[in-house]
Amino acid sequence: MEEKAVNQVIDQVKEKFSRHLEREGFRKTSERFTILEEIYKRTDHFDAEALYIHMKTKNYRVSRATVYNTLELLANCDLIKKHQFGKNLTQYEKSFGYKQHDHLICEDCGRVFEFCDPRIQQIKDVMGDVLKFSVTQHSLNLYGKCQGACESGI
């Protein structure tokens, strides 16, 4: 059953978050776990405001400040990943259990697609070596036009 799997993942990420908060000496508040749960129940890419609205819609009593605060904490323990897709707006995606991937952004419809290519890892390794730079992370975005859904007017 699909939902069972989702719940399993939610248990795992809560556990991981819990350990992170403990390790760093932060408090385990209900808001933090609720936000994490809602993120993992939902899909794909979102921004802070959308998440805030979502929480409000579900009648949770949270503030923007807490949303931003929690997103920061979750990013710090790799439960979500921060992105910028060409706009001055931070977008997030859940990252637990996801394999490394990069993004294709359609300049027409704004949709975000994902892809993997091992060459990016090679670039990181080689460049870190050559330039005496310890690379911790990267961001690769390809921009263009999706010839599928978008061009057929969907």
Interface residue list for a copy of itself (CB under 8 A) = 84, 86, 88-90, 104, 106-107, 113, 115, 117, 119-120, 122-124, 126-128, 130-148
The nearest distance, CB 139 to DNA, in angstroms, is 15
Query: How many C-beta neighbours within 10 Å does residue 36 have?
Result: 24
Would you count residue 93 as binding DNA (CB under 7 A)? Answer: no
Amino acid at 23: R
**Span interacting with DNA, options 7-15, 37-45, 86-94, 110-118, rule CB under 7 A:** 86-94
Dihedral pair phi/psi, residue 110, rounded to 5°: 80, -5
Alpha carbon distance 10, 93 (integer Å): 15
Alpha-carbon distance 24 to 86, whole Å?
Answer: 32
Strand, coil or helix: what is 80? strand
Between 21 and 146, whose beta carbon lies closer to a copy of itself?
146
Query: Which of 13, 17, 32, 83 contacts DNA by CB under 7 A?
Result: 32
Q: Which of 98, 92, 96 lies closest to 112 in space, CA to CA?
A: 92
DSSP string, 29-46: -HHHHHHHHHHHHS-S-E
* Residue 28 lies near DNA (rule: CB under 7 A): yes
Contacting range for DNA; rule: CB under 7 A; set: 5-13, 58-66, 97-105, 132-140: 58-66
Cβ contacts of 82 within 8 Å, gap of 6 or more = 75, 90, 91, 92
Where does this chain touch DNA (CB under 7 A) — which range of 36-44, 83-91, 112-120, 123-131? 83-91
Is 65 one of the binding residues for DNA (CB under 7 A)?
yes
Minimum distance from residue 75 beta carbon to DNA (Å): 11
**Interacting residues with DNA (CB under 7 A):** 21, 26-32, 47-49, 61-66, 68-70, 72, 88-90
